Structure 1
Amino acid sequence: MSQTFTFRHLPILIFLSFLYSFSASAQNRTTVKGTVQDGQKQPLAYATIVLVSLPDSALVNSQMTDEAGAYVFEKVTSGRYTIKASRIDHNTVASPAFEVGTQPIQVPVLQTALKTTALKEVVVQGQRPLLEQHADRLIMNVEKLNTAGENSLEVLKNAPGVRLDKDDNIIFRGSGSVNVMINGKMTYMTGSELSMYLKSLPASAVSKVELIANPPASFDAAGTAGIINIVLKRELTKGMNGTLSAGSGYGTYEKAWVALNLNYNLGKVSFYTRLSTGHVNSYNKLTMERTIRDSLYRSVNYWHPITKTVNVVAGADYFINPRHTVGIMVKGFTSPQDVLTTSNSVNYDVRGNAIGSVQMNNPRDVVSNNYSLNLNYKFDIDTTGRSLTFDADYVRYHNGTDESFANQYFAEAIQNGKEFENLRSFSDAATQIYAIKTDYVHPLAHNWKAETGWKSSWVRNDADIRFEKQLENTWQTDERRTNQFLYDENINAGYLSFSKKVSKALSLKAGLRAEQTILRGNSRTTQKVVDRNYWELFPSVFASYNPSDEHQFSTSYSRRISRPNYRSLNPFTFFSDPYMGIKGNPFLQPSFSNSLVASYTFKNFQLLSISYLQENDFVMEVVSQNDATKESISTPQNLSRARTLSLSSGGTLPVRKWWSANLQLQGNLNKVSTPVQGEQYNQEQFSWDFSTDNNFTLPKNFSVQYSAYYNSPSVSGLFRHKASYLMSIGGKKTFMDGRATVSVKLNDIFDTARFRANLNYSNVNMYWENEWESRRLNLTFDYKFGNSKIKAARHRKTGTSDEENRVSK
């Protein structure tokens, strides 16, 4: 069948035309090349070469010399220039000024002598602060913390503005609508799958955490609160090196884990792999109280999962030549779980007497696994900074659960004369994601730079759950709890941004991203079908002003979107006990936000950061209570508006030479205004939180760490949270010339960490208290191996993928 041109092809043609026009504008340029030698007239490899324009001394481009001491800048525009060469162990030298026209330029040989103060072996130890403020993000250097025995999810709790809710969902800037990336690539997960994955990733593998409140246009617009990017450790030195970590811990039950981070860089080819496996025996205790008329319903649920995890990441980068780089990355993750959940729900009358109860026994086998493949390519078109990147991704997630429920009723809780009820369920959920993405960067005259790109992704989610109940020794389908839900989604996005370095101190950037969403949700059991097709625009603006190295000012604005995750759209009902259930909502709409951030940093200490976040049509769990059946069903719904104003200050203080303290103080004003179940709901609360992390350096490579945090009462959506706090202490010892470290940490010394919240509106009056193994004693051993003194290889950044991460909770 022949294909004809349609309107949907127009954005692609416009984008290709835009790329062509940029390419055409960069013709009629010439080449500048030369060599650098040391004092003995031998080639000086890995020296930094800078091309500087005159007379304003503006940096045009930079690179490193190869093994022969040679360098080449291609397609340099007409003008007057000079070349500067430097290396850490050699003096800086500059070439005479030269004019560039249409003919190639051969710069005279540059010769530089060894610094008289240089050591035979140069060892550079950078003392980075815990927090670094950049124009578009706040960076937390995890290696400055004592994270002995912790996982990546626990690391995030140390980041400013980040906390976890009762289900270990990540809350950033007071909102749960945040996207999490690993090394610049979306995790594709939310909820329990994301928390389980991060728990399998040891903290020792994490280098830093980037908090991006207002991402630029090149990022997906998803995530109204912004993006959290977890950067894992990876060495770029030639040769082989890596880190081996092993540890064990004990809280209520035992835990053990081991991880290997291995890098092998041959210069032309770079390999890397990360392997981790763990055994975690843990528990959660959830206490819930519901007041229905004059009666109190109190349930205590114990959730006891035994989890085994295996996490594998492997990849390679092949540097075809200085312009072309190709890469491949594969990831695999599996996490089988044996879970036993028990529940005891007791009904009390107005005088406090127990008048009925239900006991539930819920054994469950869960298998979660996923794998992904990424292919990437980068083309450095010329030495002016023009580059083209391309990424192709495939991701598959699968989750299967087999479980049974045995409910026993006592006294007035007996229903229809039955004291026993047996149920079982089988669920299977699979998600497949395909994505292609390309980005183009083009420097312009007068310190301008343009960026553009296109991305298309396709998602297919198939969730099937079958519930059965036993009637007279036969199993029959429970129609109320059985459903199959199919979800298909296609998102097409394009962006354009411009940036300019106005002066040495002032930088500006603005961008616009357009996204088209085409989706179809089909509940085969309930015959509910939802089709949508819509376009949205997402502007972003950034400005940074750095009058000196000590003073940094930055401000940014962005509009963003949060699309419902796939399970939230699935209209089936899952009952966690005979009276509590969770139900999806296929008619959920996306929510939108406007975000503004301004900050001032002095000497790497963030003296003040002001953040304003307004979310419209934000999604929140709303509990509907049936006073007759005593059932409470939680359903995600679009609420009207939530606003959060935050002021924060924090950074690292050198109290003494042997004592450094990181302090964080934040205040939040939260407002929620929305109709709920036919009534207007207004909630406003000022809250504050404080955290401190202290490091005490002792003789003979010993150190002691003390940390604590306090969160005051606060509000989030319809929930009113009670205060929480904890204190932790630890110590570590380094030996074998700094290659080996033994760490011990007692987390939550007094076992005070809890999630406690109230829910009050309409006929709903509920109280939650969630308790977990917060108090734990962990012991870890880290060992760095390989040659860390080999000259650094040339640094190449491969393309990254910004994908959806809304796989079901």
Structure 2
Amino acid sequence: MKKIFILSLITICSLTRLAVAQTASVNGQIKSSSETLPGATVQLLHLPDSAAVSAQIADANGNFRFTNPKNGSYVVKAVMMGFQNTTSNSFSFTGQSITLPALVLKNSTKALKAVTINGQVPQLEQKSDRLVVNVEKMITTGDNALEVLKKAPGIKLDKDDNILYRNNGGVNIMIDGRMTYMSSSEVSNYLKSLPANAVSKIELIANPPANFDAAGTAGVINIIMKRNRLQGFNGTATATTVYGTYGKVFGGANLNYNTGKLSFYTRANGGHAASYNKLNLGRQIVTDLYSQENYWHPIGDNVSYTSGADYFATAKQTFGFMFRGYNSPQNAKVTSNSVTTNQLGQQIGSVYMLKPQYTNTRTYSFNVNYSYAIDTLGQKLSFDADYVRSSNINNETFSNIYFDAAGTRLGDTVKQRNDNPAKYNIRSLKVDYVWPFAKTWRAETGWKSSWVSTNNNARFENLTAGNWITDLRRSNHFLYDENINAGYLTFNKTVGKKWEFKAGVRAEQTVSTGNSITQQEVVGRNYWKLFPSLFAAYKINIDHQLNASYSGRISRPGYSNLNPFTFFSDPYTAIKGNPYLQPSFSKSWLMSYTYKSFQVLSLSYVRVNNAVSTIISQNDQTKESIATYQNLGNTSSLNATSAGSFNIKKWWNVTANLDASYDKVNTMTQGTPYRSERLSWSAGTDQTFTLLKNFRIQLSGYYYSPSISGLARTLSGSQIDAAINKTFMDKKATLSFKVRDIFFGNRYRSILQYNNVNTTWQNEWESRRFSLGFTYQFGNLKIKTARNRNTGATSEENRM
């Protein structure tokens, strides 16, 4: 693989040198009497007929560059609103690069009437390869990013707030084109810390092309944060207060400074919040009924921040860096009351648990990026390097008090404690090359290598005779190292104005070693796979479009899922990792029909082999239920979605989505065949009313029917929200009020029934909330410039 990597780099560099050697150009700059003019329209006109040969927009420094025109005589014409048109002196091009004197545009003497343009951006937009949710179209006061995400078509949350896309948990979450480098639960907690008004768009990519990592059986979700790419200094400040059962406050700022040569941005959000979660758990153990109520009351702070800069060294070369951090210290009071009754309904014993808990997740990531635009036709070479460091702290102290059938205390309080620190280091290098050729063809190729190391030293101790003694059954020191090398090649072809085709293949090699030092167990793997992808788009006319796609994907086990440590949340409930977990593989097909910005029908089918799920093993003697990560046989999901937005009246906009899914699970569970299948559906709508005096009202509601998720059968739920906002101060300030889950109908309820397991779950949380928010924009909001770049770290982060 190293030889292939070196050969690929040599090939890419050779292509670049060849391209540069064969490129000759006409260069110049557009200026006014006092400064350069970015955004001016520049035309290359052939003489003597003044026929337009090429046109482009001047870059952030007013520069332009026409590549490889035919030999002949030309002039360059510059046009910009508010200035008089200017044409250069004639010149001859003979195959050698030339630089023209700067074209100076004079101010126009004609006065322009004031023009007001009111544009309506649809809340849902169907692109050729993705569905885009424009969050800025929504009233999101008091919401966090996770709450907005779960309203997107095809998105659900499981009982632990893990994100499901097309009813599949194997989805990669990206932020601004970069992977989040967190586990599923950490991603959910991070999104909860981000205010929804910091999000600009959500991109749902069911079948990513080969230049994306192959990880993620369900596809990719890219969350694009707000970034004001305007010249000068500008920004947005937000403040929100929320009250449900407990109070919360959040605030943040998004600042940008752009000189044209240097674009700097920083974003910081923080908050203090108290909340709760109540779990009612019922288990049938032989003839006894075990009832448990767990109450979790966390109080914590969180802060997330991002800073970066783009430096436009020349018209062709751009350097960039970005730093992102996340910190979430939290103290929680956890209680559990477990009661066991016999078949006559008589209490035969109980246990009460008190567990103070301190957790903290710290994640820091750093990216450097270089981009070289070889020509104006789109030929481009780019490099990315990423480094991520993350640490998790989880300290708990258990106090367990046991009672007999009469409620009499049995013995002394049983005290235990758990210290479960985890550290992650991730490094990646990525190179990509884009080459348009033969007018209607486009090729892309690239290479990526990543290295991951984790260290988890979990220690569980019992207090015995005044001394803390290590419990070897519940302790484990686990190390994990992984290297993934990947290369890809894609070709894109347009046929006329109606057809577009794209085909690609990605090869990925995985080398990993899991080492349980405590259990003296080492598991190593070395495998590689090919992942093809195909796309076709047919544009019937300006309003109607058909799309079809296919891709093969992989979902590697999460790093902590491979750790054989047994983590107890209470005396009878635990979860355990599995070092022998295998990756799961999927095949995904999708077809869609779009009318304007409305996705009339999207039909997809996903089949997953070796899907990872938790299997509960119940010990009828000790009453312990331990959930272990295991590979299922296969799962499949046939999904149909219709979603879009439209206006009933000019002042009344409706966004609606309807989703239906037929899911099947076919596997062996602890040596016993298990089969489950079900048709489920969900529906949601947002009604937005634009009123006089800059008032806007939004009514939202959604419903989801009973469904299956892994081995669990989930029950129905619903939610109704209402919001009102007003803009003022020349539309720079917005004040909003929102009520969420008015009728308190959002719950998670599920049933597990297989072998000797017969369990019911019911989770409730602080879903009904009242929030008041204020947003203020300041600085220069008029001149647009700067770039929007995606950097190159991949799916390793989602598995931490």
Task: Note the 1:267-666 alignment, pairs <5 A.
Answer: 267-411=260-404, 418=411, 420-666=413-659
Spell out, residue by residue over 1:694-746, the C-alpha distance to the aligned partner (whole angstroms, 9 max, x if none).
11111111111100000011111111110110101110011001000011100
Q: Which residue of 1 is the match for residue 56 of structure 2?
A: 62
Task: Note the 1:725-736 alignment, pairs <5 A.
Answer: 725-736=718-729
| Paired residues of 2:609 and 2:635 also in contact (CA < 8 A) | yes
Question: Is it true that 1:774 corresponds to 2:733 in the alignment?
Answer: no
Partner SS state of residue 276, structure 1: strand
| Paired residues of 1:719 and 1:759 also in contact (CA < 8 A) | yes
| Paired residues of 1:435 and 1:803 also in contact (CA < 8 A) | no
Aligned equivalents of 1:647, 1:95: Cα separation in 2: 57
Aligned equivalents of 2:108, 2:361: Cα separation in 1: 57
Displacement, 1:29?
Answer: 3.8
Question: Is it true that 1:238 corresponds to 2:238 in the alignment?
Answer: no
Displacement, 1:50?
Answer: 6.2
Partner SS state of residue 148, structure 2: helix
Q: Which residue of 2 is the match for residue 176 of structure 1?
A: 169
Aligned equivalents of 2:565, 2:285: Cα separation in 1: 25
| Paired residues of 1:75 and 1:383 also in contact (CA < 8 A) | no
Aligned equivalents of 1:60, 1:559: Cα separation in 2: 40
Aligned equivalents of 1:145, 1:620: Cα separation in 2: 35
| Paired residues of 1:36 and 1:109 also in contact (CA < 8 A) | yes
Displacement, 1:336?
Answer: 0.6
Question: Is it true that 1:229 corresponds to 2:234 in the alignment?
Answer: no
Q: Which residue of 1 is the match for residue 668 of structure 2?
A: 675
Displacement, 1:659?
Answer: 1.0
2:256 aligned residue (263, 285, 291): 263
Partner SS state of residue 186, structure 2: helix
Q: Which runs of 5+ in 1 are unaligned?
A: 1-6
Aligned equivalents of 2:74, 2:604: Cα separation in 1: 43
Over 3 Å counting, the alpha-carbon distance change for 1:161 and 1:454 in structure 2 is: same
Aligned equivalents of 2:111, 2:379: Cα separation in 1: 36
Which letter does structure 2 place at the counterpart of 1:183?
D
| Paired residues of 1:327 and 1:798 also in contact (CA < 8 A) | no
Question: Is it true that 1:30 corresponds to 2:24 in the alignment?
Answer: yes
Question: Is it true that 1:747 corresponds to 2:740 in the alignment?
Answer: yes
Range moving further from structure 2, 543-552 or 488-497: 543-552
Aligned equivalents of 2:240, 2:247: Cα separation in 1: 11
Spell out, residue by residue over 1:234-279, the C-alpha distance to the aligned partner (whole angstroms, 9 max, x if none).
1111111100000111111110011000001111111100111100
Aligned equivalents of 1:698, 1:73: Cα separation in 2: 49
Spell out, residue by residue over 1:62-88, the C-alpha distance to the aligned partner (whole angstroms, 9 max, x if none).
332676x66222345779999886656
Which letter does structure 1 place at the counterpart of 2:601?
L
Displacement, 1:418?
Answer: 4.4
2:4 aligned residue (10, 18, 24): 10
Over 3 Å counting, the alpha-carbon distance change for 1:103 and 1:746 in structure 2 is: same
Over 3 Å counting, the alpha-carbon distance change for 1:798 and 1:429 in structure 2 is: closer
Range moving further from structure 2, 244-253 or 107-116: 107-116
Which letter does structure 2 place at the counterpart of 1:433?
I
Displacement, 1:598?
Answer: 1.2
Displacement, 1:116?
Answer: 12
Aligned equivalents of 1:86, 1:671: Cα separation in 2: 60
Aligned equivalents of 2:441, 2:668: Cα separation in 1: 48
Partner SS state of residue 473, structure 2: coil
Aligned equivalents of 1:392, 1:58: Cα separation in 2: 41
Aligned equivalents of 2:479, 2:770: Cα separation in 1: 44
Aligned equivalents of 1:590, 1:52: Cα separation in 2: 57
Displacement, 1:19?
Answer: 4.2
| Paired residues of 1:745 and 1:779 also in contact (CA < 8 A) | yes
Spell out, residue by residue over 1:69-108, the C-alpha distance to the aligned partner (whole angstroms, 9 max, x if none).
6622234577999988665668999999999763558999
Displacement, 1:787?
Answer: 1.5
Q: Which residue of 1 is the match for residue 796 of structure 2?
A: 804
The total of aligned residue pairs comes to 798
Question: Is it true that 1:204 corresponds to 2:197 in the alignment?
Answer: yes
Which letter does structure 2 place at the counterpart of 1:387?
K
Which letter does structure 2 place at the counterpart of 1:636?
Y
Over 3 Å counting, the alpha-carbon distance change for 1:481 and 1:446 in structure 2 is: same
Aligned equivalents of 1:759, 1:562: Cα separation in 2: 24
Q: Which residue of 2 is the match for residue 714 of structure 1?
A: 707
Aligned equivalents of 1:42, 1:740: Cα separation in 2: 32
- TM-score relative to the length of structure 1: 0.93
Partner SS state of residue 749, structure 1: coil
Range moving further from structure 2, 256-265 or 324-333: 324-333
Partner SS state of residue 806, structure 1: helix
Aligned equivalents of 1:695, 1:523: Cα separation in 2: 55
Spell out, residue by residue over 1:440-480, the C-alpha distance to the aligned partner (whole angstroms, 9 max, x if none).
11111132111111111111100011111112222211111
| Paired residues of 2:403 and 2:410 also in contact (CA < 8 A) | no
Which letter does structure 2 place at the counterpart of 1:289?
G
Aligned equivalents of 2:191, 2:52: Cα separation in 1: 43
| Paired residues of 2:402 and 2:410 also in contact (CA < 8 A) | no
Aligned equivalents of 1:739, 1:652: Cα separation in 2: 26
Q: Which residue of 2 is the match for residue 4 of structure 1?
A: none
Question: Is it true that 1:251 corresponds to 2:240 in the alignment?
Answer: no
Which letter does structure 1 place at the counterpart of 2:189?
M
| Paired residues of 1:147 and 1:155 also in contact (CA < 8 A) | yes
Aligned equivalents of 2:126, 2:14: Cα separation in 1: 37
Over 3 Å counting, the alpha-carbon distance change for 1:119 and 1:168 in structure 2 is: farther
| Paired residues of 1:51 and 1:81 also in contact (CA < 8 A) | yes
Displacement, 1:383?
Answer: 2.0
Aligned equivalents of 1:678, 1:313: Cα separation in 2: 49
Spell out, residue by residue over 1:134-156, the C-alpha distance to the aligned partner (whole angstroms, 9 max, x if none).
11111000011111011111111
Displacement, 1:626?
Answer: 1.1
Partner SS state of residue 20, structure 1: helix
2:187 aligned residue (186, 191, 194): 194
Q: Which residue of 2 is the match for residue 20 of structure 1?
A: 14
| Paired residues of 1:389 and 1:799 also in contact (CA < 8 A) | no
Spell out, residue by residue over 1:624-654, the C-alpha distance to the aligned partner (whole angstroms, 9 max, x if none).
1111211111001001111111111111120
Over 3 Å counting, the alpha-carbon distance change for 1:749 and 1:432 in structure 2 is: same
| Paired residues of 1:89 and 1:122 also in contact (CA < 8 A) | no
Over 3 Å counting, the alpha-carbon distance change for 1:472 and 1:546 in structure 2 is: same
Aligned equivalents of 1:160, 1:79: Cα separation in 2: 54
Displacement, 1:173?
Answer: 0.9
Which letter does structure 2 place at the counterpart of 1:346?
V
Which letter does structure 2 place at the counterpart of 1:705?
Q
Aligned equivalents of 2:697, 2:22: Cα separation in 1: 62
Which letter does structure 2 place at the counterpart of 1:704?
I
| Paired residues of 1:358 and 1:413 also in contact (CA < 8 A) | no
Aligned equivalents of 2:444, 2:77: Cα separation in 1: 28
| Paired residues of 1:135 and 1:555 also in contact (CA < 8 A) | no
Which letter does structure 2 place at the counterpart of 1:207?
S
- TM-score relative to the length of structure 2: 0.94
